Structure 1
Amino acid sequence: MNKGRVLITGAAGFLGSHLCDRFINEGFEVVGMDNLITGNLENIEHLFELKEFEFYNHDVSKFVHVSGELDYIVHFASPASPIDYLKIPIQTLKVGSLGTHNCLGLAKAKNARIIVASTSEVYGDPLVHPQTEDYYGNVNPIGPRGVYDEAKRFQEAMTMAYHTYHKLETRIVRIFNTYGPRMRLNDGRVLPAFIGQALRGEDLTVFGDGSQTRSFCYVDDLVEGIYRLLMSDYPYPVNIGNPDEITIKEFAEEIIKLTGTEQKVIYKPLPKDDPMQRQPNIDRAREILGWEPKVSRAEGLKITYDYFRSLPDEKLYKKEHNDFKDYIKK
Structure 2
Amino acid sequence: MYRVLLVEDEEIELETLRDYIDWKKNGISRVFTARNGRRALECLEENMADIVITDIQMPGMSGIELAETIVRRGYPCKIVFLTGYDDFSYIHSAFQVNAVDYLLKPFTIEEVEACLKKVRSELEKSEIADWSRKTAAKQLLEMALREKQETELLRKNFRGVFGEELEECRFGIIAVYGKTEENICSQIQEKYKGIRYISKTERISILLLAGYLSVKDTAFQIWNDLKEDAPRAVGWCSGAWTADCLYEKAEKLRNCCVLAFHMDPPELFCADEKETEEEKAYHFREQKERREEICRLVSNGKKQETLQTMKDYFQKLKGLRRKHLREKFTISICIYGTVLF
- What is the TM-score of this pair, normalised by structure 2? 0.19
Q: Which gives a bigger RCO, structure 1 or 2 (Cα 8 Å, sep 6+)?
A: 1
TM (norm. structure 1) is 0.20
| Structure richer in helix, relative to its length | 2
Tell which structure's C-alpha radius of gyration is larger: 2
